[in-house]
């Protein structure tokens, strides 16, 4: 089984957990897309959804195209379950998200849901978060100074740049500064708080105490729910 097959499998497994009359939050990214597609199949086969709430324009467009009942977070009274992927997740269910640049909205949506179900293939499992880059969303206003202040604290990285050489722009019209750790930080919660205290920083891609069930797809075809 390829990584794409594993992503498809966990997307379907998560869609199978959705029940009638739910309001469902939709994550962003390739694995979340497989969930959205599987959910639309169930919705065409007598699953009734009150609404789906996307975390990005990309998820909104896909859900709308597939005929799902899209609403915005501001317009629903609650969210039963949000299903989303992760760039990294460790045994304590600490995560890094933001590879797609939608982590601030994803965090707001997940934090205001009764449960966040995380769907990942086995390549996203890490012994401790911080193996790869940590996306930090930054206001454009004063962004060079914000970056300089982060670097003074030891948080080295790069602006996220698109293929055409322009700055990557988030769902909230901000910039992404990708911090690269020399090794996974021993106290990531402290790093998260320290980074967030820098004026100009909106939020980091660290997610703590948010994940509920985690569905993992393995290359051998096995699916596990933790």
Regarding whether 40 and 147 lie in a shared domain, the answer is no
Regarding whether 184 and 96 lie in a shared domain, the answer is no
Regarding whether 171 and 113 lie in a shared domain, the answer is no
Is the pLDDT at 53 greater than 80? The verdict is yes
Average pLDDT over residues 47-63: 98
Burial environment of residue 169 by CB neighbours within 10 A (0 to 12, 13 to 18, 19 or more): middle
Q: What is the CATH number of the domain that holds 107?
A: 3.40.50.1360
Regarding whether 106 and 24 lie in a shared domain, the answer is yes
Average pLDDT over residues 103-128: 98
**Catalytic sites, residue numbers:** 106
Regarding whether 72 and 13 lie in a shared domain, the answer is yes
pLDDT, residue 109, reads: 98
Mean pLDDT of the chain: 97
Q: Write out pLDDT tens, residues 73-96.
A: 999 999 999 999 999 999 999 999
Q: Write out pLDDT tens, residues 65-79.
A: 999 999 999 999 999
Q: What is the CATH number of the domain that holds 170?
A: 3.30.70.260
Regarding whether 121 and 213 lie in a shared domain, the answer is yes
pLDDT, residue 22, reads: 98
Q: At a CB cut-off of 8 Å and minimum separation 6, what does 201 contact? A: 136, 137, 138, 146, 150, 195
Structural domain count of the chain: 2
Beta-strand ranges (E) seen in 99-194 are 113-121, 133-138, 157-159, 175-180
pLDDT, residue 157, reads: 98
DSSP strand pairing (201-204 vs 22-26): unpaired
Is the pLDDT at 100 greater than 80? The verdict is yes
The range of the structural domain enclosing residue 27 comes to 3-125+208-225
Is the pLDDT at 32 greater than 80? The verdict is yes
pLDDT, residue 1, reads: 72
pLDDT, residue 141, reads: 98
Q: Write out pLDDT tens, residues 148-201.
A: 999 999 999 999 999 999 999 999 999 999 999 999 999 999 999 999 999 999
Regarding whether 81 and 44 lie in a shared domain, the answer is yes
């Amino acid at each position: 089984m390829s990584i794409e097959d594993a992503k498809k499998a966990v997307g379907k497994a998560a869609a199978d957990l959705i029940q009638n009359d739910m309001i469902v939050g939709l994550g962003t990214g390739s694995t979340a897309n497989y969930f959205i597609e599987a959910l639309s199949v169930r919705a065409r086969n007598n699953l009734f959804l009150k609404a789906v709430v996307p975390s990005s324009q990309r998820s909104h467009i896909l859900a709308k195209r597939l005929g799902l009942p899209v609403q915005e977070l501001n317009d629903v009274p609650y969210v039963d379950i949000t299903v989303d992927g992760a760039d990294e997740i460790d045994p304590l269910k600490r995560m890094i998200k933001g590879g797609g640049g939608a982590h601030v909205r994803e965090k707001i949506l997940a934090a205001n849901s009764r449960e966040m179900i995380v769907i990942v293939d086995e390549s996203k499992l890490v012994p401790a978060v911080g193996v790869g880059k940590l996306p930090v969303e930054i206001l454009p206003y004063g962004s060079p100074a914000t970056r300089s202040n982060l670097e003074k604290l030891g948080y080295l990285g790069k602006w996220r740049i698109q293929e055409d050489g322009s700055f990557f722009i988030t769902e909230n019209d901000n910039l992404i500064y990708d911090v690269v750790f020399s090794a996974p930080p021993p106290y990531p919660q402290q790093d998260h708080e320290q980074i967030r205290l820098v004026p100009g920083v909106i939020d980091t891609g660290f997610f703590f105490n948010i994940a509920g069930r985690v569905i993992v797809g393995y290359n051998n075809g096995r699916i596990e729910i933790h």
